[in-house]
Amino acid sequence: MNDASHSVGEVVNTLRSSFESSRLSPRQANDLTELVDREGRAILVVGEYKDCATVRDRMHQRCRAMAMETPLNTRVVPSHVVAHQAFAIRLLGWLVKLFGRCSGFRALFAEVFFSVRRETEEYTSRYYYKYKTALVFVGR
What is the distance, to the nearest Å, from the Cα of residue 87 to the centroid of all Cα atoms in its chain?
A: 13
Domain boundaries, the chain: 8-65, 79-139
Query: Digits of tens for pLDDT over the chain (140 positions)?
Result: 445 677 888 888 888 888 776 678 888 888 988 888 888 888 888 888 888 888 888 888 888 888 888 888 888 888 888 889 889 989 999 998 998 999 898 888 888 877 765 555 555 555 555 544 333 233 23
What local confidence, expressed as pLDDT, does residue 135 receive?
30
What local confidence, expressed as pLDDT, does residue 94 receive?
93
41-73 burial, b at 16+ Cβ within 10 Å, e below that, comes to beebbeeeeeebeebbebbbebbeeeebeebbe
